[in-house]
Structure 1
Amino acid sequence: MSQRFTNPRSSSRMLAIGAALAMSLAAPLAIAADGAATQTKAHESSQQPVEDSWITTKVKADLLVDEQTKGLDINVSTTNGVVTLAGRLDSTVQVDKAVSIARGIKGVKSVDATTLTVKPRG
């Protein structure tokens, strides 16, 4: 019987990707009054909802496995290849890292981080 060795980093990356995928797939559908599933407005306005969902999932997963950004409360959404990051972080270094990660994802046209702010010191 052979033993199987797994890289702990790749296991955590797969878990992060799975969690981000589950979150992104849960959001697009809403139940209408007649019980039919309908897309939410964010996805209705997108010309590329499948690619946008993939980009959002990939950004979330990469943020979760990065040492500087993992565990941070960063909201990610994507519409027509434009990634929007929102949240309050501890430093500009974390903000810059989150933006850099999002820009590095294939298919991202631009990153809007105007609502990704640094918490005041105090």
Structure 2
Amino acid sequence: MRTRSILRNSTFAAGLALAFAAVPLSQAMAHDASPPMQKSADNQTVPDKAADAWITTKVKSEFGTTKGVSANDISVSTSDGVVTLTGTVSTQDEKMRAQRVAQLVKGVKSVDISGLTVGGTPPAEK
């Protein structure tokens, strides 16, 4: 009975050691098989684009749940963490509120509100 237990434990230990030895090998093979991350023409990696898409979605979501900000009249785009808001708002206060809400989203570096017009008046030309 004792030899049976020792044999079972030894077999289990050998199998466990083999499994742990295979993990680094499979990771190394998977790493070599994957192509290097390519940068697109606009110098953004895929994770950067995904982060920008997440930020855009999150800002739109925050607009939808914030009183005093009309989510339907504001377009949101993000590039390298810089959020650009365009569209029409009814008051200067709504414009500033939209900027504050967007700035509070995690990952936002800055917010450009030059494309937001108040009451249908175009933004001042520079």
Matches within 5 A, 1:8-27: none
1:65-111 C-alpha deviation (Å, 9 max, x unpaired): 11111444100000000000001111001000100000000100110
Whole-Å separation in 2 of the counterparts to 1:64 and 1:44: 33
User: For the pair shown, which has the larger CA radius of gyration, 1 or 2?
Assistant: 2
Whole-Å separation in 2 of the counterparts to 1:58 and 1:71: 12
Q: How far has the Cα of 1:119 moved from its partner? A: 1.2
Q: How far has the Cα of 1:117 moved from its partner? A: 1.2
Matches within 5 A, 1:1-122: 45=42, 47=44, 48-119=48-119
Q: Which has the higher strand share?
A: 1
Whole-Å separation in 1 of the counterparts to 2:52 and 2:58: 10
Question: Which blocks of at least 5 consecutive residues in structure 2 are unaligned?
Answer: 1-39, 122-126
3-state SS, counterpart of residue 108 of structure 2: coil
The share of aligned pairs that are identical, in percent, is 41
Question: Which blocks of at least 5 consecutive residues in structure 1 are unaligned?
Answer: 1-42
The runs of at least 4 aligned residues of structure 1 exceeding 6 Å deviation read: none
Give the number of the structure with larger relative contact order, counting CA–CA contacts within 8 Å between residues 6 or more apart.
Answer: 1
The answer on whether the counterparts of 2:73 and 2:88 sit within 8 Å (CA) in structure 1 is: yes
Q: How many residues are matched? A: 79
Whole-Å separation in 2 of the counterparts to 1:46 and 1:53: 16
3-state SS, counterpart of residue 73 of structure 2: coil
Whole-Å separation in 1 of the counterparts to 2:81 and 2:90: 27
Distance of aligned partners of 1:46 and 1:76 in 2 relative to their CA distance in 1, 3 Å threshold: farther
Distance of aligned partners of 1:71 and 1:107 in 2 relative to their CA distance in 1, 3 Å threshold: closer
Q: Which has the higher helix share?
A: 2
